Every structure is written in C-alpha cells, then in structure tokens.
C-alpha cells in the first residue's frame, strides 16, 4: 500500500508546533529585554553567503550522528543499511527536542525504528544507542576539561563567573561519571529498581507487553545489559565515537564563528569554545522542549561579559543560530519522522512484536540476502 505522504507531512507539521512555539516565545522574550534599534540593520549587513555556509552544519551533523551510531552497531558484528541509520538518527533527534532536557529522550524511538527495519531487536538497538551516548558523554568530559584549562587563562573570566562555571562543570562531571561507573561496574544496584519500575509500567499499560514480558523483565534487562557492555567495551566503537564527537565539537565552534563573521564582527575562538561547552552543560539541566531558554540566556551572558560585542549583534547571532539549528532540525526531522511513521505497516512502537518472534524473521532475511548475493 502506498503511504499517504500528504497526511505524513501534515502530522509532522502539527508535531512541530510545540517546540517552535517555545523557541519563538524564548526569542521574543530576549528581544524585549534588549535594545533592538540596531537589530534590523545588523541583519541587513549580514553576508547571505556566509549564512548559507553556516547552514551546512545541520546536514553534516546528521551525517555524523548517523555514522557514529552506525559504527557502534558495526562493532557489534551487525550490518545495517546506512539509509536506515539516517532515518533512525532523525527520528531520535525529533523526539529529543520534544522531551524534557536537551538531546535526551528520543533514543527509544530511534531504536524502535531500527528494530522495525533491520535485524536488530529492540533491546539490541537500545543498547547500541545507549553505548554510543555514553561514550559521547565521556568525550564531552575530555573536551570540557581541555576547554577549562586552555580557555580560562586566556579569557577575562571574573570570580563570579568562575563560581558558576565550576559549579556547572562539577555537576556535569558527576552526572556522566556516575552513569559510566554504574553502567559498567555497579549495574546490579539498578537492576532491581529497573525491574520493579518496568514491571509496574507494563502491568499498568497492557499494550507495552509486546515489548516487555511482565514475567521476564529481569531476564530481558540482563539481555539488554549484555549487549550494552559488548558495544561499550569495543575499542573500535569507542575510538570511532570519540573521534566523531571531537569533530562535532569542531562544527559547534565553527558555525558561530562563521555567523559572527557574516554579521561583520570577529570573536576569539577560545570564547566560542568555552561558550559551546557551557551550552552543552546547561542543556542537560534545561527542562524545556529543546532546552532553549537557559542556553540562549547563557550564551548572551557569556558573549556580553567576556567580549566587547554589542547586544544587537549578540541577539542577531542567537536568532540565526537557533534558526539554523533547532528550527531547521525540527522541520527536517519532524517531516522524516512523520513519513517513516506513516509508511510503516505498524503505526506505533507499542505494537512492536516480541523480540522472540523476530529472530526467525531476521534469520530468513539474512539467508535470503546471502543467497541473492551469490
């Protein structure tokens, strides 16, 4: 049956209303608190070619996200078509911006999509994305420490700013370090808690029993954890994800640098590096769709306190940055999510087949593929 793409796009646009509305309110509030007499002239002076160059960051990021996840799965000896990785990364990105906290919460949805399109089971797909995100977090810790030791001696950071900086850095390191330590060495402490919580949710929502067997939750958690450790202990996966995380950090610095150049000003690279890393830290604690408000406020404060840029230029760069990142990502990922959701014969992740039923189907698909390759 041919999917109704018109309905898919319409559904995707409806899903964009909440995050776009939140960001619009955030940017409106910022505009009302800043003298905007020079904002329109700042946009008129902007170089459209440089803005177009900065817009290339989004397709490069989507490629990096897909490649990073793809390499983790390859380290687990599973072959997955790369186009499905791109779809899964966009599905994950879309739901990441609809859940509390920035860049979190969409992993189960991306994993569910992979489990529908590839030989991976749902728990294997969740384990792969969990391992990828954990290694990414450890790479972020390395970047954060390097940023603090390199940038602080150069920039005129005052004692008040240092207190906020060290508090945010300490909280970020504690969260990531605790998750990494527990996930590898003390998972048995969380196992009983997860088993109880998942069991209660499954019994309260019978439709979830296609994903979780209420009588075998502990056994299924053990299966997920075994796959997770396999991915996380792979040197190839750790090296690939770390390298691509550093490359993504380079893009995060390069884009605002190009945007400021488009507006006719120059910003020191150490300031951009410090601001980019602080945005990631604050994004974890920004419990709004997209985490927009806290990040924009932090960027404004950093640029205003540590540079001689005018408020109009700072606000213009903030608007362009949000437009070329969150808004454009919501449009692309929302449209792709709506189309792949509607084109799938099963309409929601709650109707996913049990993994035990999926294994024979995956085996038949693999055998058929190998036979056709001959």
C-alpha span between 335 and 6 (Å, rounded): 10
Per-residue confidence in pLDDT tens, the chain, 374 aa: 334 444 444 555 555 565 566 566 666 665 666 566 667 788 888 899 999 999 999 999 999 999 999 999 988 788 889 999 999 999 888 877 665 544 566 788 888 889 888 888 888 898 898 888 888 878 887 887 777 777 666 666 554 555 666 666 677 777 777 877 877 777 777 777 777 777 777 777 666 666 666 667 777 788 778 888 888 778 888 888 889 988 988 898 899 899 989 988 888 777 777 777 766 666 555 444 444 555 555 666 666 666 677 777 877 887 888 788 877 887 788 778 777 766 654 434 433 444 444 443 344 344 344 444 44
Model pTM score: 0.74
Predicted confidence at residue 53, as pLDDT, reads: 94
Predicted confidence at residue 213, as pLDDT, reads: 66
C-alpha span between 214 and 224 (Å, rounded): 15
Predicted confidence at residue 57, as pLDDT, reads: 92
| Cβ contact 151:261 at 8 Å | no
Predicted confidence at residue 355, as pLDDT, reads: 45
Which residues, 6 or more positions from 235, have their beta carbon under 8 angstroms from its beta carbon? none
- Describe the crossing of helices 122-151 and 217-232 by its angle, rounded to 10 degrees: 50
Predicted confidence at residue 290, as pLDDT, reads: 43
Instruction: Tell me how long the chain is.
Output: 374
CA angle, 10 then 54 then 289, to 5°: 45
C-alpha span between 54 and 304 (Å, rounded): 22
- DSSP calls for 306-337: HS---HHHHHHHHHHHHIIIIIHHHHHHHHHH
Predicted confidence at residue 84, as pLDDT, reads: 92
């Amino acid at each position: 049956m041919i999917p109704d793409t018109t309905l898919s796009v319409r559904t995707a646009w409806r899903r964009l209303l909440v995050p776009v509305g939140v960001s619009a309110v955030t940017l409106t509030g910022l505009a009302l608190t800043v003298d905007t007499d020079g904002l329109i002239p700042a946009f008129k002076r902007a170089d459209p070619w440089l803005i177009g160059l900065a817009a290339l960051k989004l397709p490069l990021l989507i490629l990096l996200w897909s490649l990073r996840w793809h390499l983790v799965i390859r380290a687990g000896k599973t072959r997955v078509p790369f186009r499905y990785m791109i779809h899964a990364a966009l599905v994950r990105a879309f739901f990441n911006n609809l859940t509390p906290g920035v860049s979190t919460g969409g992993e189960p949805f991306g994993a569910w999509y992979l489990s529908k399109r590839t030989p991976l089971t749902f728990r294997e797909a969740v384990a792969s994305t969990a391992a990828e995100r954990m290694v990414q977090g450890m790479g972020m810790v390395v970047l954060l420490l390097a940023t603090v030791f390199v940038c602080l001696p150069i920039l005129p950071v005052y004692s008040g700013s240092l207190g906020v900086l060290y508090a945010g850095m300490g909280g970020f390191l504690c969260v990531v370090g605790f998750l990494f330590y527990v996930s590898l060495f003390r998972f048995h402490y969380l196992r009983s808690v997860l088993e109880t919580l998942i069991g209660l949710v499954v019994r309260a929502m019978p439709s979830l029993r296609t994903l979780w067997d209420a009588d075998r939750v502990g056994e299924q958690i053990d299966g997920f954890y075994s796959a997770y450790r396999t991915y996380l202990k792979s040197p190839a996966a750790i090296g690939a994800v770390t390298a691509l995380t550093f490359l993504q950090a380079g893009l995060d610095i390069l884009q605002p640098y190009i945007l400021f150049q488009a507006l006719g000003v120059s910003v020191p690279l150490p300031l951009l590096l410090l601001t980019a890393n602080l945005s990631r830290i604050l994004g974890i604690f920004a419990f709004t769709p997209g985490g927009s408000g806290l990040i924009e406020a932090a960027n404004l404060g950093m640029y205003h306190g540590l540079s001689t840029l005018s408020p109009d230029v700072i606000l213009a760069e903030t608007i362009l940055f949000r437009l070329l990142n969150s808004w454009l990502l919501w449009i692309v990922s929302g449209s792709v999510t709506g189309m792949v959701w509607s084109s799938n014969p099963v309409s929601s992740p709650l109707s996913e087949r049990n993994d035990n039923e999926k294994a024979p189907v995956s085996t038949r698909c693999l055998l058929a593929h190998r036979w056709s390759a001959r």
